[in-house]
Each structure stands twice: as C-alpha cells, then as structure tokens.
Chains A and B, each alone.
Chain A
C-alpha cells in the first residue's frame, strides 16, 4: 500500500505560535485528507486536498502532488488545537481506502 510519513511525531507549542506539519507519501494519489482527532476521539475533516492550496481560518494546507508531499499550517495556535493531526491518502490501487500516517501529536500550552 501507499506509505505515509508524518513529521514531526510530537510538537509542543505555546499559545499564539505557528507551526507546520508535513506529510510525505510514496505514490500518486487521488485523495489526500487532513484530520484533527480531538481528545474524545472524533476525526474532524480539516482539508480534502489532493493538490493545490486551501485555507480555512487559521489553518491552511498545500499539496505538491508531483513531489508527493503535503503541508498543514497552523497559525496563532490555541489550546483547542491540541490533539492528533492525521494525514491520509488513497488511490485506485488502494481501492480508494485511506492509508493513514502515524499522526502528529500537538499540545498547545497556555
């Protein structure tokens, strides 16, 4: 299957700081999604971004499909941003099922 590597694995930020999370993948993809898993376990869709750039409030994401990586930017972080951020990808070879990275665990302190 498609290999997905996320970095860094862990990140501690002070409230107000900015951060960049990276996702590398091993094959061309039809689907790339970023999720935030909150402390209650819910997987919240952040971006559907197989290519290009999108922004939603303090969050933005860029996928460079030809170079097989995606970046998630968090600006002016808040304590509610804490949790695990997953990158997941899919293509026709995977039956369009998502292959998840191991995630980046983010803790934002007051």
Chain B
C-alpha cells in the first residue's frame, strides 16, 4: 500500500538559510498535517490542510509557512533558520479526520 512520502530525508542548513520540505500524502487522503519533533521531545503540531485549504495552526513560528498544491502535495517553507529549528519534521495524512499515517520524516540540522 502507498505510504506518505517525504523529501528530503536529511537536510543540513546553516543559520539564517531557508529550507523547503516536501510531503506527498497517501492518494485520496483529504487532510495533511505537519509536526515538529525536537530532540527528546514528543511531536508538536504545526499546521494542517483540508482539501488544499489551511484548516488549523498550532505552534508554527511566523518564519515558517506552508501550502498544499493542486496535486495534494504539501510544502513546508522555513526561513531565517535558527539552531533551535533542528528537529525531525513529520508529515501525516488522513481521510475523513480518521487515522493519521505518518511519513518517515525529514531530519533537519541547522549549524
């Protein structure tokens, strides 16, 4: 069965640079979620999209933005990166607000 795809899997950036993370949800899933997991922490919700429209926001910094495109893939854009942005970023998708399926994550390291 198709799973959630995220790219890249690993990313190294310097402070003040920008990064773009991509997510391809499971086909026919109508909702995409982004989560951030810092070292030793639990995942924290950032933002979600329902049928390509932003539906909810969590603890997403103003330096971050996201969108969902017509083909349902989503991108998380992160600017002016800080050391504290180093984390594992997960994308998840679901249908009818049911079970969420997580991608393998993108590990971002900011140096």
Contacts of A35 in B (CB 8 A): 102
- Interface: B105 (CB within 8 A): yes
Find B90's partner among A31, A33, A43, A45 (CB 8 Å cutoff).
A43
Q: Mark interface residues in B89-111 (1 if CB within 8 Å of A CB, else 0).
A: 01010100111111011010000
Contacts of A102 in B (CB 8 A): 42
User: Which segment, of A57-65, A75-83, A93-101, faces chain B?
Assistant: A93-101
- Give complex CA distance A100, B37 in Å: 11
Find A33's partner among B37, B42, B100 (CB 8 Å cutoff).
B100
A100-B97 in contact given A41-B107, A42-B104, A43-B105 (Cβ < 8 Å): no
Contact A95 B56 (CB under 8 A): yes
Please provide the chain A residues from 49 to 71 with a CB less than 8 Å away from any CB of chain B in the complex.
Answer: none
Q: What is the chain B residue whose CB lies nearest that of A45?
A: B101
B9 to chain A, nearest CB (A): 10
Contacts of A42 in B (CB 8 A): 104-105
Given contacts A43-B105, A86-B43, A98-B92, list 18 more A-B pairs with CB under 8 A. Answer: A31-B99, A31-B100, A41-B88, A42-B104, A43-B43, A43-B90, A48-B99, A88-B43, A90-B97, A94-B56, A95-B48, A95-B55, A98-B43, A98-B45, A98-B100, A99-B45, A100-B42, A100-B44
